[in-house]
Structure 1
Amino acid sequence: MEAHRPRLRLLLLYALIAAPAVVIGAIHAMESNNNSPVDWVDADFHPRASYDQHCELFGPGDVVVMSWPGATVQDERLDRLSAVIRTAPVFRDDNGEWLFSGVVSGREALAQLGQAAAFAEGLSLTPDEASARLRGYLIGPDGQTTAVVVTFGEQGLKRRERLVGLLRQAAHDFCGVAPGEVRMAGPVIDGLSVDQASRDTLSRYAAPSAALVFALCWFNLRSLRAAVVVFGLAMFCQGATLALVYYSGESMSALLVVLPPLIQVLAVSGGVHLTNYYFDLSDITPTSKRIAEAIRAGWLPCALSSATTAIGMASLMASRLEPIRLFGAYSAAGVLLTLGVLLGLLPACYTFWPARRSRRGLAPTGSRTLGWEAWARLTSRWAPALTVLGIGAVVVGGWQAASIQTSVRIETMFAADSRVIEDYRWIEEHLGPTVPLEVTLSFDNRSPLGYRDRLTLVSDLSSRLAQEPGLSKCISAASCVPPFPEVPPEVLQQAEHEAVLQLGPVLDRIGLWRRTPAGEHWRLTTRTSALGSADYGKLLERVRRVVAERLNQYPAAVRTGLATNTTGVMPLVHEIQGQLLSDLLSSFAAALALIVVVMTLAQAGIAAGVLAMVPNVFPLALFFGWLGYRGHPIDIGVVMTASVALGIAVDDTLHFLTFYRRALPRSTDRTEAVGFAMRHCGPAMIQTSICCGLGLLVFAMSDFLPTSRFASGMAILLGLALVGDLVVLPALLLGPLGRFLAAAPIDSEPADEPADEPAAPLVAAA
């Protein structure tokens, strides 16, 4: 390594020069969370196309429903609040464009209905009747409690955190409500809550987790310098991968937040393996030789595992959903970047800052060797039984995993006593269900129906939908218009004309009716609870079926020129996230299949490659099989553990197999070769699992449930991966199937054996 000192010095210099840009990019990346699922799919995604069609007519469904104790239809301050939201400069961008697309309160809608009620003799609504028509929509069951509904525009969504804070402040300034008393719900609040919870979790637990990982690295490696190098390089790799996200113009999503722990686990694993190979040689061996031997021993398994994992992750780029494509691209890039950093900067660090391991409390080399050899002999004795159990666990676990259910509902992401869930509970109790399901009846210019006939049809559908379990009263134009009296046809025609002139603008303002050159569009809105157990997708399909069945009961002539559209922002988000989880599972299955192909090439045989995958699949099959057996729905946090667990399992397996094959030609039997591989790789595997598993487990204390489940799931999977590599893999190698894995060695020269304990005084950790 002496001949490479100038190059290694340059590598360190370049890394130091790049460090500020890496830190800045990583910080900006973590601040750029974008959890807006509607943007995750293209316009040709059918549910998105239906939703876009609805938005073109009635505006987007990105709303904030805002209320508080004492917000009633008699409170005149609500008028001032609505006016401020419409006109205040803080709610406009630098060009003066309004950041919202609409604002309406129950008090305002009630007043507008009252003003337009008496447009013809005999047609009117009393204030109580008008209030009753708006209950469950803008007025609560008590006829008094109301809300302000603010619809965000495209630019407003990009500033949602600032705008939501300003809305709370406006309620305080103009309605005298303390910011903590304002209750908010809606899709905007959902996405914002996820962003804030993710950021709060990182700010609260990232430092303790990092400190614990560093302390465990120090304890296991028994060298402060080695711990600083391994941990520092892992942090550098995490930062560089996040900086890559930022400098390429992307922002963090619900999937990309998994990048830091993925890179940390792989970087710590590779660093611990290489450092253990470095410490395998005696302290009296020149540092340059120790580094050279460590790299010679570890470069091949590190390169194979990184290439295999990167290829598997890159296969996710075939998904049609952008978050999965981005996760595949950046995780593959991060894995390869980590490989380059470990093989380049780790030797450079040890060249100019040699690490020495404290032997205080460390068992003598001979006893450690005997311990691993004893474990190899014990595994050999029970190899057939352990092989059957391992393969059986994979088969049964895989079968049970097929029954896994997924969930993306808001109440599965937050604890029952969290603020966002409490706000939803309060609003649904005092106003009504908060998840809208939208039906649009579009009558083009060919339709033979007059205004009253269309209104009757809308009223009929509204009544039918209100009978469906789990749905609230349907709000439509029929809810706001009194019934037409029985009058002569010539009088009725005039009444219809007056109705369109008088009520049309009112219905247009509250978003229940639109007229375009193509015809008229009538909106029906029913709602369901955000905290219930109903499946939004199935509920929307039921609404679609009810509408179709009801319309089919009318003569074909009546349905001429009539088209329907059924959608809703939360059902769309549910559909997108459900598709995300489905694609993620299928994409990981495809990635797993691709890794099997790569493994067969690395192991020079189909049977050998398939068998080598058993310990890699073992933790996934056992963990997800258990979840499938429980029948409890899993969220995206649990699904994402698969990528990290797969990476660490492949890494450890290839290290083990590399040393096994190196030892096999010089061993008397396979048991001796397995003992050699255990002796060289076992400590690093255990240290990696302890450092990363316990470090990630800190996040299990988070109130944000997807992060908590991800952390606990990762700790379990790392433990199972350790069992797979130290129990199942040796059993496969020592059992009847082991002959398939006893191919020609990858590297003809095994690493040097560790020297005996030196007689010189113990050297404290540097």
Structure 2
Amino acid sequence: MTKWLNTSFWNFVARTLLRNRHWVILLIVAFTIFMATQWQYIRFTQTEANLLPNDHKDNIAYTDFLKKFGEEGNVIVFAVKSEDVFKPATFKAWNNMMASIAKNKEVENVLSFNEILDLKKNDSLQTFQTQKFIDPTQIADAAYLNNKKHDLLNKMPFYESLLFNKKSGIVRSVIYVKKDIVNKPDRKEFVLNKLIPAIDEFKAKTKTDIKVSGMPYIRTLNAKAIISEIGLFIGATLLVTSLIFYFFFRSFRTTLMAVFVVMIGVMWSFGLLGLLRYEITVLTALVPSLIVIIGIPNCIFLTNKYHQEARAHGNKAKGLQRVLTKVGTATFITNVTTAVGFATFIITDNKLLQEFGIVTSVNIMLLFILSLFVIPIFFSFMPIPKAKHLEHLERGYLVNFKNWIIDQVKYHNVKVYSVAVGILIIGIIGVYKMKISGSILEDMPKKTAFFDDIRFFEKEFNGVLPVEILIDTKRKKGVMKASTLKKMDELQQEIEAIPELSKPVSIVNLVKFSKQAYYNGNPAFYDLPNSQEQAFILPYIKNSSKDSKNNPLKSYVDDTGRYARISTFMKEIGTDEMIEVEEKLQDRINKLFPKERFTVTITGKALLFQKGTGYLLDNLIESLIFALALTAALIFFLFRSVKMIFVALIPNLLPLLATAGLMGYLGIPIKPSTILVFGIAFGLSVDDTIRFLAQYRQELIRNNWKIKKSIFSTLDEEGPSMFYTSFVLLFGFSVFTLSEFGGTVALGGLVSITLLFGMLTNLILLPSLVLSLNRSIANQQELKELTMDVLENNEDPDAEGEKK
């Protein structure tokens, strides 16, 4: 069923391609123009990565919370030292800044120093009324402001942790962004073009340092950083890979040809994103750079083969046809295996990974077609390579490296196997040291000002990552029952005792504030009403809630009074610590809230991301196993040998294990970005294995099944291409270490290390295994009848090609 991939097929492709090269060029130009028209549909994602499928129970719980209380990540906070801002001139400038921000249509509410509300009881109406804590007519009075600062820090416990840190004297203002724009482009427009200019103007006027944070702000600047790196990576990978290409081939024209191929591939990758209407995410942003990295090896492989043909007989037409007839199937298979490595992400239940897998795998195959068309056509217009362009085939460093490899395989099998076993043992030990990280902040750029501000808020206010507890009392107005409030208060005390969490806010805080107001603002009475006090304080609260416009309860209790929320924030912590925190809370919840009377759910973005990381790990392990299975099936399909499967997989699994072990020793955690390393590296590394085994099979036929001679002939023939392509991939991925994002740095560095290991195992361990096991796997009966000819016979070209 695969006879179409034989010599006749590739002869037909070569003839058709070269005879109709002008039409092929026009076809490529037309397709490129079409893909360019799809760029208009490219959009950057405005939502956070949701690593869980929509039907997952934790996702359902989070969606249920959003339906009742709306987006919880809509807060932007500003912090400043109290002694700086409570100066008349600075205080006035601060108020003006907050007032200008509040006027924007994207802002729902502002809670600032001049907007702080105090509760006062109205005995005649039996209600609580709000009034401004600071009289705007007296803000020019330094003594007045100083007294108000003292009152805020010492007499307003309701605002502690929300607006100030009593210990350090740091105060902050809060902006509530409208919930319906948090996941829309309007958020970006507001933060970049309205909020930040207002902050910069205040800083310039007052010379006061402001710390800014909150999820809308963090997400916007993080997204901006991702977008800015797309161009950096494309330019850097193109520069590095093209320089290496030129270093190998010493030809400007050939290097420009390779650059042209990958740039067209990059244009197509953007076009495919638009065509499929996929948004640019933290993963799909890497696709154009991956196309450059993966495309250059295709150019190297085909160019190297053409140069070998040119050196052998000096006939351009024959050489171009032989390039396709000899390596057409091999190039196709290796691109398929690379695409399969990325395509396995499609089987996950995660939309982010599925889109990444689809775009990358499709682009790899498009790039294969582009390389196969453009490179022979390019060389058909060029004169036969000169002797200086062929010198790289026998360059000193390459010959020395090749001889060293052959020496290791020929004379040092025991050392090779000893090193392999040593790496295996060390890798296994390292794997047990690995940890999982599920923090949203883990991969954010740590050298940026906004990340410094995150650390500031973690220190002063215990974090910016929202955690929500949703309480269902299962009855209308059940939240305001004294017993429910008492249970919530006990749970909040448990939260306050956990150092990783900030002081929580809920209806309990408002009830305590109401009691304080009932006793004329005395902070000693900031507590829940006792059974006697409830009779005369709760009516005040209920009467206050009738004013729907200024109802202070609406953010913490739903309209029916059945559901309540407890809101807190969390520091950036590891997955193990987060699980510990969740278990503590859940244990306390189980004791306080009987399941037959209450349903209590812990949710929020931080927890959701942590759960998603664990789920993603399971999915990607499955996808890696699937990739291994597909590769094993492909090896068996090509070579009809079960034993060959093990020989092929061992050199590719050992580098993965070594990298995993290295991550354990270096403390690099398993997280969404680093999990991808293994699938990507395996898909790229196995290409060398297939090329080696395919060439080895051909050498067996040419050398009358002489094992040793065939192995060393294979190393001589394929070694340079394997070295060149691995070298380009290694340095190409190392470009990602220039990123400001920890995850991208880890991805680039770990893939590079894995590919280095993979190159050495495929050049040393693989031939050593074949040599050691030659009597059981390398025999005519097992390898003579293949499903398809991966590499065609090197002796006689197609007759048609001879005539050309």
The normalised TM-score by structure 2 is: 0.81
Q: Name the counterpart of 1:259.
A: 287
Kindly indicate whether the alpha-carbon contact (under 8 Å) linking 2:632 and 2:645 is maintained by their aligned counterparts in 1.
Answer: yes
Kindly indicate whether the alpha-carbon contact (under 8 Å) linking 2:529 and 2:537 is maintained by their aligned counterparts in 1.
Answer: no
* Superposed CA offset, 1:424-457 (max 9, x none): 1333445553233222333343677864443333
1:735 maps to 2:748: no
1:501 maps to 2:543: yes
Kindly indicate whether the alpha-carbon contact (under 8 Å) linking 2:673 and 2:747 is maintained by their aligned counterparts in 1.
Answer: yes
Q: Name the counterpart of 1:280.
A: 308
Kindly indicate whether the alpha-carbon contact (under 8 Å) linking 2:39 and 2:271 is maintained by their aligned counterparts in 1.
Answer: yes
Give the letter for the 2:567 counterpart: T
- Alpha-carbon distance between aligned partners in 1 of 2:437 and 2:279, rounded to the nearest angstrom: 24
User: Larger deviation: 523-532 or 390-399?
Assistant: 390-399
- Alpha-carbon distance between aligned partners in 1 of 2:116 and 2:401, rounded to the nearest angstrom: 81
Shift of residue 5 of structure 1?
Answer: 2.9
Kindly indicate whether the alpha-carbon contact (under 8 Å) linking 2:445 and 2:740 is maintained by their aligned counterparts in 1.
Answer: yes
Q: Name the counterpart of 1:140.
A: 165
Q: Name the counterpart of 1:750.
A: 793
- Alpha-carbon distance between aligned partners in 1 of 2:725 and 2:675, rounded to the nearest angstrom: 22
- Among 331, 334, 344, the alignment partner of 1:315 is 344
* Superposed CA offset, 1:240-284 (max 9, x none): 133211211001222223323433333222221111111112356
Kindly indicate whether the alpha-carbon contact (under 8 Å) linking 2:472 and 2:598 is maintained by their aligned counterparts in 1.
Answer: yes
- Among 522, 540, 544, the alignment partner of 2:586 is 544
Structure 2: 5+ residue stretches without partners: 1-13, 134-150, 520-527, 798-804
The normalised TM-score by structure 1 is: 0.85
Give the letter for the 1:183 counterpart: K
User: Larger deviation: 117-126 or 132-141?
Assistant: 117-126
Shift of residue 507 of structure 1?
Answer: 8.6
Q: Name the counterpart of 2:611.
A: 575
Provide closer, same or farther for how the CA distance between residues 115 and 49 of structure 1 changes in structure 2, counting only shifts above 3 A: farther
* Superposed CA offset, 1:392-422 (max 9, x none): 6457636743653232435533565431221
Structure 2 counterpart SS, 1:481: helix
Provide closer, same or farther for how the CA distance between residues 11 and 582 of structure 1 changes in structure 2, counting only shifts above 3 A: same
Shift of residue 371 of structure 1?
Answer: 7.8
- Among 670, 681, 687, the alignment partner of 2:718 is 681
- Among 154, 158, 172, the alignment partner of 2:184 is 158
- Among 310, 316, 333, the alignment partner of 1:304 is 333
Shift of residue 61 of structure 1?
Answer: 1.7
Structure 1 counterpart SS, 2:164: coil
Q: Name the counterpart of 2:694.
A: 658
Q: Name the counterpart of 1:18.
A: 31
Kindly indicate whether the alpha-carbon contact (under 8 Å) linking 1:112 and 1:506 is maintained by their aligned counterparts in 2.
Answer: no
Give the letter for the 1:527 counterpart: F
Kindly indicate whether the alpha-carbon contact (under 8 Å) linking 1:304 and 1:602 is maintained by their aligned counterparts in 2.
Answer: no
- Among 446, 452, 473, the alignment partner of 1:422 is 452
* Superposed CA offset, 1:79-102 (max 9, x none): 6656655543xx3xxxxxxx45x4
User: Larger deviation: 727-736 or 370-379?
Assistant: 370-379
Q: Name the counterpart of 1:555.
A: none
Shift of residue 78 of structure 1?
Answer: 6.2
Give the letter for the 2:413 counterpart: A
Shift of residue 379 of structure 1?
Answer: 0.9
- Among 94, 105, 109, the alignment partner of 1:103 is 109
Give the letter for the 2:682 counterpart: L
Shift of residue 313 of structure 1?
Answer: 3.2
Shift of residue 745 of structure 1?
Answer: 6.7
- Alpha-carbon distance between aligned partners in 1 of 2:589 and 2:619, rounded to the nearest angstrom: 30
Matches of residues 55-204 of structure 1 in structure 2 within 5 Å? 55-69=66-80, 75=91, 84-85=100-101, 87-88=103-104, 91=105, 99=106, 102-107=108-113, 110-111=116-117, 113-114=119-120, 131-141=156-166, 145-159=171-185, 160-165=187-192, 166-171=194-199, 181-204=209-232
Provide closer, same or farther for how the CA distance between residues 213 and 468 of structure 1 changes in structure 2, counting only shifts above 3 A: closer
Q: Name the counterpart of 2:273.
A: 245
- Alpha-carbon distance between aligned partners in 2 of 1:626 and 1:737, rounded to the nearest angstrom: 33
User: Larger deviation: 200-209 or 683-692?
Assistant: 200-209
Q: Name the counterpart of 2:488.
A: 458
Provide closer, same or farther for how the CA distance between residues 106 and 374 of structure 1 changes in structure 2, counting only shifts above 3 A: closer
1:332 maps to 2:325: no
1:435 maps to 2:465: yes
* Superposed CA offset, 1:458-484 (max 9, x none): 323322332334333332222233448
Structure 2 counterpart SS, 1:282: helix
Kindly indicate whether the alpha-carbon contact (under 8 Å) linking 1:57 and 1:514 is maintained by their aligned counterparts in 2.
Answer: no
Kindly indicate whether the alpha-carbon contact (under 8 Å) linking 1:387 and 1:735 is maintained by their aligned counterparts in 2.
Answer: no
Q: Name the counterpart of 1:585.
A: 621
Provide closer, same or farther for how the CA distance between residues 113 and 21 of structure 1 changes in structure 2, counting only shifts above 3 A: farther
1:5 maps to 2:18: yes
1:212 maps to 2:240: yes
Give the letter for the 1:464 counterpart: E
Give the letter for the 1:140 counterpart: N
Structure 2 counterpart SS, 1:359: helix
Between the aligned residues of both structures, percent identity stands at 17
User: Larger deviation: 144-153 or 399-408?
Assistant: 399-408
Kindly indicate whether the alpha-carbon contact (under 8 Å) linking 1:659 and 1:677 is maintained by their aligned counterparts in 2.
Answer: yes
- Alpha-carbon distance between aligned partners in 2 of 1:706 and 1:260, rounded to the nearest angstrom: 17
- Alpha-carbon distance between aligned partners in 1 of 2:319 and 2:529, rounded to the nearest angstrom: 102
1:224 maps to 2:267: no
Shift of residue 152 of structure 1?
Answer: 4.5
- Alpha-carbon distance between aligned partners in 2 of 1:530 and 1:716, rounded to the nearest angstrom: 28
Matches of residues 8-47 of structure 1 in structure 2 within 5 Å? 8-23=21-36, 25=38, 29=42, 32-34=44-46, 36-38=48-50, 40-47=51-58
Root-mean-square deviation (Å): 3.9
Shift of residue 527 of structure 1?
Answer: 3.1
Q: Name the counterpart of 1:764.
A: none
Structure 1: 5+ residue stretches without partners: 92-98, 553-558, 755-766
Q: Name the counterpart of 1:514.
A: 557
Matches of residues 309-708 of structure 1 in structure 2 within 5 Å? 309-354=338-383, 356=385, 358-359=387-388, 362=391, 372=402, 375-376=405-406, 378-383=408-413, 385-387=415-417, 389-390=419-420, 393-394=423-424, 397=427, 400-401=430-431, 404-409=434-439, 412-414=442-444, 416-445=446-475, 451-482=481-512, 483=515, 492-493=534-535, 495-502=537-544, 508-509=551-552, 512-517=555-560, 519-530=561-572, 535-552=577-594, 561-667=597-703, 669-708=706-745
Kindly indicate whether the alpha-carbon contact (under 8 Å) linking 1:473 and 1:526 is maintained by their aligned counterparts in 2.
Answer: yes
Shift of residue 653 of structure 1?
Answer: 1.4
Give the letter for the 1:568 counterpart: G
- Alpha-carbon distance between aligned partners in 1 of 2:530 and 2:767, rounded to the nearest angstrom: 93
Structure 1 counterpart SS, 2:310: coil
Shift of residue 540 of structure 1?
Answer: 2.9
Kindly indicate whether the alpha-carbon contact (under 8 Å) linking 2:258 and 2:296 is maintained by their aligned counterparts in 1.
Answer: yes
User: Larger deviation: 519-528 or 596-605?
Assistant: 519-528
The number of equivalent residue pairs is 735
Provide closer, same or farther for how the CA distance between residues 296 and 479 of structure 1 changes in structure 2, counting only shifts above 3 A: same
- Alpha-carbon distance between aligned partners in 2 of 1:650 and 1:192, rounded to the nearest angstrom: 39
- Alpha-carbon distance between aligned partners in 2 of 1:205 and 1:396, rounded to the nearest angstrom: 33
Give the letter for the 2:191 counterpart: V
Kindly indicate whether the alpha-carbon contact (under 8 Å) linking 1:171 and 1:179 is maintained by their aligned counterparts in 2.
Answer: no
User: Larger deviation: 132-141 or 293-302?
Assistant: 132-141
Kindly indicate whether the alpha-carbon contact (under 8 Å) linking 2:474 and 2:562 is maintained by their aligned counterparts in 1.
Answer: yes
Provide closer, same or farther for how the CA distance between residues 64 and 288 of structure 1 changes in structure 2, counting only shifts above 3 A: farther
Structure 2 counterpart SS, 1:513: coil
- Alpha-carbon distance between aligned partners in 2 of 1:463 and 1:369, rounded to the nearest angstrom: 72
Shift of residue 731 of structure 1?
Answer: 0.8
Kindly indicate whether the alpha-carbon contact (under 8 Å) linking 2:307 and 2:390 is maintained by their aligned counterparts in 1.
Answer: no
User: Larger deviation: 521-530 or 294-303?
Assistant: 521-530
Give the letter for the 2:468 counterpart: E
User: Larger deviation: 653-662 or 499-508?
Assistant: 499-508
Kindly indicate whether the alpha-carbon contact (under 8 Å) linking 1:66 and 1:185 is maintained by their aligned counterparts in 2.
Answer: yes
- Alpha-carbon distance between aligned partners in 2 of 1:323 and 1:122, rounded to the nearest angstrom: 49
Provide closer, same or farther for how the CA distance between residues 82 and 189 of structure 1 changes in structure 2, counting only shifts above 3 A: closer
Shift of residue 597 of structure 1?
Answer: 2.1
